[in-house]
Amino acid sequence: MQKRKIGNTGLEVSALGLGCMGMNHSYAPFPEKKDMISMIRKAVEKGVTFFDTAEIYGPFINEELVGEALQPLRKEVVIATKFGFAYASEDGIKYKSTGVDSSPGNIKRSVEGSLKRLRTEVIDLYYQHRVDPTVPIEEVAETVKDLIKEGKVNHFGLSEAGVQTIRRAHAVQQVTALQSEYSMWYRKPETEVIPTLQELGIGFVPFSPLGKGFLTGKLSENKTFESSDIRNTIPRFTQESMKANQGLVDLLSMIALKMNATPSQIALAWLLAQKPWIVPIPGTTKLNRLEENIGGAGISLSSEDLININSALDKIKVIGDRYPEALEKATGL
């Protein structure tokens, strides 16, 4: 697979990364751990070098999975994880988040736990998972700057941060990457975020590049999800919204048919064509979907293709919010 550099810091990764969250968080039912370890290692064999996890996925168990899977291949890969939440446990075994917490003390606690679970001496890319309104972003950036000096972290990232937060953080410690949602059915970053990233030399790592599965064309309006699946809480996944948004899938399917590809591959190729420093991280638990997604990195869309696709996208109004109102307000955008 081709490589890309994220931002101006020289961090080089595969053009597509692998989002590991769904392997044991948010998208039940979950496969066996051994199967996911095998798939992560096969992803490396197929050229994927960029793996994304977070402390809160589980909490903790997703980092443990990624750490075990990649320990024998550590020198070949780039691992990104995230901090920024506090946790509580009633039994000392099962934990749950009690809210955002990017205080310096909590960041320092988080990095030690992540290093241990990931079985590594350094975290390649360390994101603030969500903006903490109670802690100035300058204080967060200064804390991560200290971790970089200590050799525990190589690069600083932000997730779901607005442009002013990005600028303020970047003034203290160079931000290597922003991770936020971006896809054919969520294009808000094009207005302010992407121009700001280009100006500052910051890379962009879109999560949910396939619209949490919707852009694959595999989800009908009658699709039902496991009770714990996060999509049950998302307005865009109501039966009415999915039916209303079918036009977007129809457009993707039409383009895919013309290019002898799948809707997923076109959605990923479209993202990759936006900027050379954009690296999507589609997640999956199935090897055939991993292979399909990797195929999207090999599709080149011409300038004319992009003009035609964007013209068609501009005529489609996406129905439904991407998050419940309270969760959307917590993103910092």
Query: Of 128 and 28, which is predicted with more confidence?
Result: 128
Structure-block tokens of residue 43: 């992803």
Q: Is the pLDDT of residue 325 over 70?
A: yes
Active site residue 182: no
Confidence tier at 122 by pLDDT (50, 70, 90): very high
The span from the CA of 333 to the CA of 328, in Å, is: 8
Task: Show the domains of the chain with their CATH numbers.
Answer: 3-210+275-299 (3.20.20.100)
Of 11-15, 77-81, 218-222, minimum mean pLDDT range: 218-222
| Tens digit of each residue's pLDDT (9 = 90 or more) over 264-313 | 999 999 999 999 999 999 999 999 999 999 999 999 999 999 999 999 99
| Tens digit of each residue's pLDDT (9 = 90 or more) over 82-99 | 999 999 998 888 899 999
Q: Is the pLDDT of residue 333 over 60?
A: no
Query: Of 323 and 325, which is predicted with more confidence?
Result: 323
Q: In what order do the strands lie in the sheet with 153-159?
A: 18-19, 50-52, 78-83, 123-128, 153-159, 175-181, 203-207
| Average pLDDT of the chain, as a whole number | 95
The span from the CA of 53 to the CA of 296, in Å, is: 22
Residue 330 is predicted with a pLDDT of 59
Confidence tier at 331 by pLDDT (50, 70, 90): low
Q: Which residue is catalytic, options 27, 57, 126, 127?
A: 57
